[in-house]
Structure 1
C-alpha cells in the first residue's frame, strides 16, 4: 500500500508481463481500466512494460496536475480531481505559492473536498477555501470513476451543464450563465461534460471559482 488509498504492484521478475495482486478488504478500482473489485481476493493482472498495476480504494478523492519538470514551472492548470465513488468520504487539498514562507502567515489555500454516491446521485463538493492565498485563474476537471451509464443531467450549484458527447448537440444553457460555473463568454464553449462508456468515466470541465462548488451527476 502507498498511503491508505493506493495499492501499487510493480513487477519483480525480469520478463514478467502479468502478476498476482492481493487486494485488501474493501472496494477497489483498477486505475487503468476502471474495473471495480471487492477484496479480499487475489487477482491476476496484466503488467505491460509501460504500465505498473495500480489500484485505488473506493472513496478516494485524488487531485492531480499537469506534468512539470520542476515544481513552479507553471501554474497548475487544469486542476484535475478524480473521484473514486463510495457511499461517502472526505479529504482536503492544500496549496500555497510554492516558493515563499508566506504560508506561515496565513497565505495558503486549504479546501475541504467531500463526495457521496448512491443509486441516483454522484456528487463532489469543493468548499470555499481557508487562508489568504488563491492560485491563478484556472480550469477545473472532475472525473467521476465507475459510472455505469450516461448521466441524465450534470449540474454545478444547480446550473445545468451542457453535454459534449460526440455527434450530439449540446444540451442545456451556456455554462457561463449560472453561479458556480467559473467560466464566462468564450471560455464557456470549452465547458461541459462527456461520458466514456469503455472506461465508465464522466468528465466535467468548468472554471475553478475558489468558492463552494457542488458538482452533481444524476
Structure 2
C-alpha cells in the first residue's frame, strides 16, 4: 500500500528514503555518463535479511549490447542473520568479453548501521583495518569504521571473480524512527484564505468535544466539524 510522508528539509537538501536491505550502486560525481571511469564502484548497503541486486553494464554509447551481446552483469547478495553479516559479489558474467568488459576498478562497500567491528575477511582471509579515512582511500584492500555515523567501509579490487566478504561485528544498529511531519512548520493561514475546519487540531473543552466527521445523511463533502454546543463559538489560531 502506498504512503505519503512529509519531512522537513533545508533548501540545499533532498530527502532520500532507502528500504532496509537495499543495495544501491553509486559512482563518482559526473556531469554526464562517461565523463569518468566507474572507479571506485561504491555499493551503499543497508543489511537486513537476505537481498540481491544485479548490476547491468555496457559501453553506454553504441547498440552493440543488442547486436553483439556486448554487456556485463554482476549479482550482489547481502545476508544479515542476527549478528552475522556477509556480502557476496558473484562472478561477473561478461556476455561478449572480446567486445566489452568493464574497466579495471575497485569496490567500495559501504555497510550502514554498524557501530562496532572486530574484523573483516575476504574469501576467508583477514584484511587490515585502516586508522583513518585517508589511509583507507590510499589502500588497495582494507576496511575502516566510521564510528560517528555507524558505517563500515570495505575496499577491495574488482577481480571479476566471486568475492565473499564477512563482517565480524555486533550486528546492525537499527536507526531511530522519527515522527512523521517532524520539524515541519505549522500551516500558515493568510488573510482571506479558505481553511477547512475538519483539518484543524480539535481540543476537548469543558463543554464537550468537537471532532471532525464525514458521515451524515445526504452529506457529500470532504468532511465537517461537529460537537458545537453553543450558538456562539470562539476559534483560536496559534
- What TM-score range do you get, normalising by the shorter chain? 0.5 to 0.7
CA contact (8 A) 1:65 1:79 kept: yes
Match of 1:210 among 160, 163, 177: 160
> Which structure has the larger Rg?
2
Higher percent of residues as strand: 1
CA contact (8 A) 2:122 2:164 kept: yes
Corresponding residue number in structure 2 for 1:17: none
Pair 1:49-2:11 in alignment: yes
Corresponding residue number in structure 1 for 2:44: 82
CA RMSD of superposed structures (Å): 2.7
* TM-score, structure 2 normalization: 0.62
- SS across alignment from 2:118: coil
* TM-score, structure 1 normalization: 0.67
5+ unaligned residues in a row in structure 1: which ranges? Answer: 8-20, 23-43, 171-186
CA contact (8 A) 1:134 1:210 kept: no
Corresponding residue number in structure 1 for 2:193: none
Report the alpha carbon displacement of residue 45 of structure 1 after superposing the two structures with TM: 4.8
5+ unaligned residues in a row in structure 2: which ranges? Answer: 169-238
CA contact (8 A) 1:114 1:126 kept: yes
**Per-residue Cα deviation, 1:28-86 (whole angstroms, up to 9, x for no partner):** xxxxxxxxxxxxxxxx8541122122220101100011111111112211100011110
Give every structure 1 segment of 4 or more consecutive aligned residues whose post-TM-superposition deviation is greater than 4 Å: none
Q: How many residues are treated as equivalent by the alignment?
A: 162
Match of 1:113 among 76, 101, 111: 76
Match of 1:198 among 123, 148, 173: 148
